[in-house]
Amino acid sequence: MLWVKSFHIVFIASWFAGLFYLPRLFVNLAMVEPGSVAERERLLVMARKLLRFMTLLAIPALVLGLWLWLGYGIGAGQGWMHAKLFVVVLLLGYHHACARLLRRFEANRNARSHVWYRWFNEVPVVLMIVAVVLVVVKPF
């Protein structure tokens, strides 16, 4: 079980790195001057690659988490686990929202400012704090 838990933590940390960084690329994309085609294209390539990579990291993170929960019974029937699962659903929604925002940038249809993306970038930080507190403290 400790091997599964260790790799779960590694993949979660790696997935979060992408969740933290991709919106930073969106900030930069939102600030690109209208005539800076090369800069825009370079940032789009980086964002596409990062989204693919973080999606590949999310899959084993989720599979290993399910293995811990369903296979070993960690948190089964406990309130903190239900709350953590809700946080995971929110993170999956955030991941999906990042993919949709990237498609809007690719279509040159971004309607948001760099300031909005700076605030959007804080969402996974808050969700990570909540998830860690739920897992470590088990408040209910």
Q: Which two tokens stand for residue 125?
A: 């930080």
How big is the chain, counted in residues?
140
* pLDDT score recorded for residue 30: 98
Interatomic CA distance for residues 136 and 130, integer angstroms: 10
Domain residue extents for the chain: 2-137
* pLDDT score recorded for residue 113: 98
- 99 phi and psi, to 5 degrees? -65, -40
Q: In sequence order, what are the residues at sequence separation of 6 or more whose Cβ sits closer than 8 angstroms to the Cβ of residue 71?
A: 4
Mean pLDDT of 75-101: 97
Average pLDDT, the chain: 97
* pLDDT score recorded for residue 104: 98
